[in-house]
Structure formats: C-alpha cells, structure tokens
Structure 1
C-alpha cells in the first residue's frame, strides 16, 4: 500500500487571507502543482470573494 506522505493527491486546507478563519478542504495533484495553491473563493463571513492560500 502507498503511504500517506507519498500520496500524489493529498488533502490540503485553503485558509482565507481576509483573516476570518474560514477554510476550504480540497485535494491537489502534487505533480502538476508543486507550489502552494492560491484560489479566489467565496468567504461567507465578509460576503465576498477573496484569495485563499494553501496552508501546511
């Protein structure tokens, strides 16, 4: 069996840059995007789209 640390598609947490503490949980392909992921998603606390950055 493959170990969790060598998983090609690990689960990651995306945390809001607005400082509200809102997070999204998703998966990413480590081979296609080895850098930290940054996505614009909806933050329900401030009620607008903001950048969410991958945290480790």
Structure 2
C-alpha cells in the first residue's frame, strides 16, 4: 500500500487578507514543486483573495 503523504502531501492555504482563514487541500509534488497560490473565497472579508501555501 502506498504512503498517504508521499507524492500528494496535505497543504494548508492561508488567506493573505490577514483574517486567519485557511483551506486544506492536497497538491502534487511532481507538478507543483514550489509553493501554491490560489484565489479563493474568504468568508470573513466576503470576497475572493489570494491564498498562499503555508508550511
């Protein structure tokens, strides 16, 4: 059986709006070796902001 954190680790995406809101997702180390950044909805400020990967 394959290890759960091998090629697709769990990462936390933290809001850049400073609200402390975070999403949890998985990413592929092979396709995205750097830090991930996505525009997602932050319900605290009620708008879409950039979320960056936190380690």
TM over 0.5: yes
CA-to-aligned-CA distance 1:3-24 (integer Å, 9 cap, x gap): 566x100000000000000000
SS at match of 1:50: strand
| Unaligned runs of at least 5 residues, structure 2 | none
Task: Name the counterpart of 2:45.
Answer: 46
TM-score normalised according to structure 1 size: 0.90
TM-score normalised according to structure 2 size: 0.92
- In structure 1, how many angstroms separate the alpha carbons of the residues matched to 2:4 and 2:38? 24
RMSD: 1.3
Structure 1 stretches (4+) deviating beyond 3 angstroms? 1-5
| Total equivalences in the alignment | 55
